[in-house]
Amino acid sequence: MYLLLILGSFLLLGLAAKSYLTDPSFYEFGHYRSDAVPELAAGTPLFRGAAYCQSCHTNRNTDWAIGAHRTVQCEVCHGADREHPENEETFIPADTIRLCTTCHDTITGRPAWQPQIVVGQHPFPDEETPQCHTCHDPHSPGDSEPDAAADARTQAAGINGAAINPPAVASKCAKCHGQQGEGVKKSPALAGLESAVFVERLNLYKSGAREHKMMAKFAKSLNDEEVVELARYYESLAAKSPE
């Protein structure tokens, strides 16, 4: 008898607490607090969209507007800050591998038209993967980068009209410098560069006198014969020598 009274007391206490703590608008339209909808609608929007950024970032906006990321709003990568630009702060991602693989890591079922990579095999298997922005412009990825058709090019016209086959190792250079050494974004052009200058620069990277983590590792992986082959190949390509 006493046990039933105790259980009944707990039941009444629970019902009273539920009645007191549950918002009256809960489950009015579904399993949520319906008053939350107008409250959220009355709030100040946190995301402003790319249009808000145009006035201060004209050049970036121009690149973004014609690139593959034109459907991606600025805050997706840079975050939202109501105080920007007054506080002169902005979020610039340092770990672009973690950021970019959110959309570009290979996942079963992801649409084939969306570029995807296997991080451990990109850009070169068995090598450390550099930060994405090292080779790709995040505001306009794909713009001026080599396309699939360019991969079929196996010969380039030489200075004297002779055809020079690109050495196998040139495929690694093409990842950042273009299929024909034309240069891609921040990566300088190699086509037309004098062979002596090319060799000198690679040796500087190899010795550590010229600092660049990715280039130093690449240069150290080449033997003298491969360096000379690359130098002759890029010198043979018709293009303006970089300054």
pTM higher than 0.85: no
Q: Please, what CATH class does the domain formed by 149-236 belong to?
A: mainly alpha
Nearest to 188 by CA among 235, 132, 122, 241: 241
Q: What is the pLDDT of residues 88-109, one digit of tens each?
A: 787 888 899 999 999 999 998 8
Rg (CA), the chain: 29
Nearest to 159 by CA among 226, 232, 225, 227: 232
Q: Whole-number mean pLDDT of the chain?
A: 82
Residue 152 has pLDDT above 60, yes or no: no
Residue 139 has pLDDT above 90, yes or no: no
Break the chain into its structural domains and give their ranges: 50-134, 149-236
Residue 144 has pLDDT above 70, yes or no: no
Residue 178 has pLDDT above 90, yes or no: no
Residue 47 has pLDDT above 60, yes or no: yes
Spatial neighbors of 243 by CB under 8 A, at least 6 apart, are none
Q: In which region does residue 43 sit, left (phi positive, over 0), alpha (psi from -120 to 50) or beta (all else)?
A: beta
